[in-house]
Amino acid sequence: MKILLSGFNPFANLSVNSSQVIVQEIEKRWRPVAPIHLTTEILPTEYCAAESRIRNLIREIKPDAVLCLGVADTRSAINLERVAVNWDDGGACPDNAGDIRAGQKIVDGPEAYSSTLPLEEIQRTLKKHGIPVSFSNDAGTYVCNHVFYSALHEVQQLSLNAMCGFIHVPSIDEKRSWFRQSSGLPLEMMVSAIESCLEVIVSHDTVKKQ
C-alpha cells in the first residue's frame, strides 16, 4: 500500500506549524504492521506551489491513500474535515508568497468534494483512545482547503481508487495532558492520533481489497 502524508511549513505569525512537526515525527517512528510505502511531504503554505506539489506527488506516486494535515490553532481537538470547497477566500491574509486571494475559484470543477477517508471509523478509534476528536464541515478557504480540494480533484482526474482527505490539528500545547484540559494538544497525543488514523486507513484498504 502506498500512502502520501503531508503537512505545512509555518506561515504568518505562526513560528511552529504542528502539522509539519507531526509529519516529521511520523516519518521517523511509524512502523506499520502491513507493508507500507509512506511518502511524507512538507508543503509550502502557498496556494500555487502547494497545489502544484500535491498534484505532482499524486501523479508520480499514484497512492492508495492521501492524508493531508494542516494546523488550526484556534481548535482544541483533532478535526476530521468532511468537505473541500472550490473557493479561495483568505481575506487580507496573504500566503507565504504574498498571494492574497479573495473570492475566486480554485479550478473549473465541482463546487465541492467530500472526503473519501473512513472518517466515522477514524473518529471511533480516536475516541476509544481518549483523544479529543470532532467532525468539521469547514476546512476554511485558505491554503489548507486549497490543497484539500486540489488533492481530491487530482485523484478524480486520474480516476484513482484512492482514499483522500484532510485533518486539521491544533497547535502544540505541552501544558495539556491526557487528563487536563487547555488549548491545543500535546505533540505526543497528536502523533499518536495520526498514527491511529493511518492504521485505520491501512485496515480499511486491506478490507476493501479482499
Give the active site residue among 41, 46, 81, 154: 81
- C-beta separation of 8 from 68 below 8 A: no
Dig out the grid coordinates for 112 from the structure: 465541492
DSSP 105: -
Tell me whether residue 187 is exposed, middle or buried, using C-beta atoms within 10 angstroms of its C-beta: 0 to 12, 13 to 18, 19 or more.
middle
Q: Which residue among 68, 144, 164, 197 is the active-site one?
A: 144
Q: Between the CA of residue 45 and those of 8, 17, 24, 144, 170, what are the distances in Å?
A: 6, 10, 16, 8, 17
Give the angle subtended at the CA of 70 by the CAs of 68 and 72, to the nearest 5°: 150
144: annotated active-site residue = yes
Whether 37 is catalytic is no
Q: DSSP string spanning 149-206?
A: HHHHHHHHHTT---EEEEEEE--B-TT--SSS--SSB-HHHHHHHHHHHHHHHHHHHH
31 Cβ contact list (under 8 Å, min separation 6): none
The active-site residue out of 46, 51, 153, 168 is 168
Cell of 92: 487580507
For the question of residue 168 being annotated catalytic, the response is yes
CA contacts within 13 A on the Cβ side of 93: 15
Q: Which single residue is written with the C-alpha cell 505562526?
A: 14
Catalytic positions are: 81, 144, 168
